[in-house]
Amino acid sequence: MKIAMLSPIAWRTPPWHYGPWELVVSLITEELVSRGVDVTLFATDDSVTRGKLESVVPKGYEEDPSADAKVNEALHISHLMESAGDYDLIHNHFDFLPLSYSALIRTPMVTTIHGFSSPRILPVYEKYNRKTHYISISFADRAPSLDYLANVYHGLDLSQFTFQPEPGNYLVFLGRFHEDKGAREAIAIARRAKVRLKMAGIIQDRAYFREFIEPQVDGEQIIYMGSVLPPERDILLGNALALLHPINFNEPFGLSVIEAMGTGTPVIAFPRGSMEEIILHGTTGYLVHSIEEAVDAVHSIRKINRFDCRHHVEKNFTKEIMADNYLAAYKKILGGSRESNKTI
């Protein structure tokens, strides 16, 4: 089985600090390679893999101010498609654009839909619905007009997340600074609960950050740490009382949620999108509907058994489980099955 793994090129694969799609691609690729699968990773030239690397783009366009994102995307995708016949299967993680090549090649393509950035992209998925194969990352993120081969949850390399049975005395917010992610709400929760809040992540919306976040950062109760590298993230999450995840959109998955639970840290989240699939209310955290409920959850958070958080991830969200499910999906495709709406 020869797999062409098409990664996004906003960031390196795996990313230095931020790049959730690139991180997932790396985890899948490396786990498959460790099992003897012949995988060629199509990613930026500075990417790292134990498989074969193909690249025509030096580095991620988010890390290269001189890059033209659309030009690099066109070069990157076409580079794979022009050699599509060399592979048994293409695994697309690049959203909708590669689908437009699928009727022009004979190699089957499976697309992991990492989320719908806008309803406006749905017509492309609908056009190629019967020509390719789709995998969702949560049932909450499925579009009713599409057929799905499988649902495959993201998984972690748990060796990168240290279980911490005893937390520190702070809350954590980890995510991009954008209205969607609820950084402003996290600050309100921490202030009302009178607990320190450490915040980390990239600034995606600078106007939002300047208006709502920056004035609240005092270095004492509200602390901004920037974007953190994996070792720092492990420590930051593991020593927290809880991860605050008061999202304002329907989250397709939420890697930071399982990362926190992987260290034993429970999560307090608004029940939007996939949260009810990932968090066990009262066991690995709390699903709350308001800032007031979140404050109450902070005061009750020590009732959560941190071992249960880790165990939940071990049973459901590891890279090994993720790879098992993707291999099962590949075998269905190469065996000629178009069985839809199944979880494998």
CA distances from 163 to 53, 81, 275 (A): 33, 42, 22
How does pLDDT run across 99-112, given as a tens digit for each residue? 999 999 999 999 99
Spatial distance between the Cα atoms of 231 and 39, rounded to a whole number of angstroms: 27
Cα gap 278→284, rounded to integer Å: 9
With bands split at pLDDT 50, 70 and 90, how would you rate the model's confidence at 342? Answer: very low
SS3 62: coil
The DSSP secondary-structure symbol of 83 reads T
Q: What are phi and psi of 6, to 5 degrees?
A: -95, 110
| Global confidence as pTM | 0.94
pLDDT at 344 > cutoff 60 = no
Per the document, the length of the chain is 344
Q: The domain 2-155+318-334 belongs to what CATH superfamily?
A: Glycogen Phosphorylase B; (3.40.50.2000)
Cα separation, 32 vs 36, whole angstroms: 7
Whether the domain at 2-155+318-334 and the domain at 158-316 fall into the same CATH topology: yes
Residues 298-341: pLDDT tens digits?
A: 999 999 999 999 999 999 999 999 999 999 999 999 997 554 43
Q: 């291999």: which residue's tokens?
A: 327
- The domain spans of the chain are 2-155+318-334, 158-316
- Could you tell me which CATH number the domain at 158-316 has? 3.40.50.2000
Tens-place pLDDT, residues 286-298: 999 999 999 999 9
Please state, in angstroms and as integers, the Cα–Cα distance from residue 295 to each residue in 153, 169, 191, 196, 289, following that order: 29, 15, 9, 13, 11
d(CA 325, CA 72): 31
Q: Do the beta carbons of residue 23 and residue 236 sit within 8 Å?
A: no
Distances (CA, A) of 134 to 14, 176, 205, 262: 23, 27, 30, 28
